[in-house]
């Protein structure tokens, strides 16, 4: 395979996200295109809703009417995705398929990368990336689900809480 698979966004009819994803995966299986169309995802989050005093956890779509497809873009794969029942087209200028950047893939939560954290709550860390690079602070909270670390940094004689991504800080020696 000469080209690497990239993530693309496909627009669907409202409420048809699961049907489009299922139909697309069935077509991929039937036509043996697993190496060209590798993954189909519908990013969701689990939220707690309270109705009539009853708490219930539900899965909510982060991007209603959109499906994310990891594929190698060719005329054939474009046609397979575009003409899947329920699909209205690719997201991009004039319906042209434009791949997501690495930053967009991370921000939209389409692919999660494994981050190793060698510090814990209470440890002193050095900030190694971002606008506060070079500052040191104490880790107050680590939220791996949201990929966030809250660090208290002393700026201008005041303790200031700052939210960072886990790889923006390293344990202070």
- One CATH from 3.40.50.9100, 3.10.20.740, 3.30.70.940, 3.40.50.1010 for 6-108: 3.30.70.940
Handedness of CA 118, 122, 128, 130 (dihedral sign): positive
| 115-169 tens-digit pLDDT | 678 888 999 999 998 888 999 999 999 887 777 899 999 988 899 999 988 888 8
pLDDT at 2: 44
**Max avg pLDDT among 48-62, 76-90, 141-155:** 76-90
Per-residue model confidence (pLDDT) at position 54: 87
The CB-based long-range contact list for 151-158 (8 Å cut-off, 24+ gap) reads: 151/125, 151/127, 153/127
Over residues 81-88, mean pLDDT = 93
With CA atoms as reference, report the closest residue to 133 among 102, 164, 93. Answer: 164
pLDDT score of 95: 77
Half-sphere exposure of 100 (CA within 13 A, CB side): 22
Q: How many Å apart are CA 101 and CA 23, to the nearest integer?
A: 26
pLDDT at site 1: 43
**What is the model's pLDDT at position 113?**
61
Q: Does domain 124-171 have CATH number 2.30.30.30?
A: yes
Label residue 81 exposed, middle or buried (CB < 10 Å: 0-12, 13-18, 19+): buried
d(C-alpha 131, C-alpha 151), whole Å: 14
Lowest average pLDDT, out of 13-27, 68-82, 137-151, goes to: 137-151
Question: Among 118, 78, 121, which Cα is nearest to 98's?
Answer: 78
Domain ranges of the chain: 6-108, 124-171
Q: How far is CA 166 from CA 114, 124, 128, 134, 148, in A?
A: 10, 14, 11, 15, 6
Q: What is the pLDDT of residue 112?
A: 62
Q: Average pLDDT in the 7-16 region?
A: 93
**What's the predicted TM-score (pTM) here?**
0.64
């Amino acid at each position: 395979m000469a080209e690497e698979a990239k993530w693309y966004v496909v627009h669907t009819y409202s409420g048809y996200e699961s049907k489009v994803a299922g139909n697309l995966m069935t077509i991929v299986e039937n036509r043996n295109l697993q190496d060209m169309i590798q993954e189909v995802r519908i990013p969701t989050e689990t939220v707690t809703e309270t109705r009539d005093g009853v708490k219930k956890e539900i899965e909510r779509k982060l991007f209603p009417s959109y499906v994310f497809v990891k594929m190698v873009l060719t005329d054939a794969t474009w046609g397979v995705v575009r003409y899947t029942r329920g699909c209205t087209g690719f997201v991009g200028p004039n319906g042209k398929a434009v791949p997501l950047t690495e930053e967009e893939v991370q921000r939209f939560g389409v692919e999660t990368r494994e981050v190793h954290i060698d510090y814990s709550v209470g440890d002193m860390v050095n900030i190694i990336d971002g606008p506060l690079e070079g500052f040191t602070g104490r880790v107050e909270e680590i939220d791996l689900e949201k990929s966030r670390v809250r660090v208290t940094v002393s700026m201008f004689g005041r303790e200031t809480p700052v939210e960072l991504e886990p790889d923006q800080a390293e344990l202070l020696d």
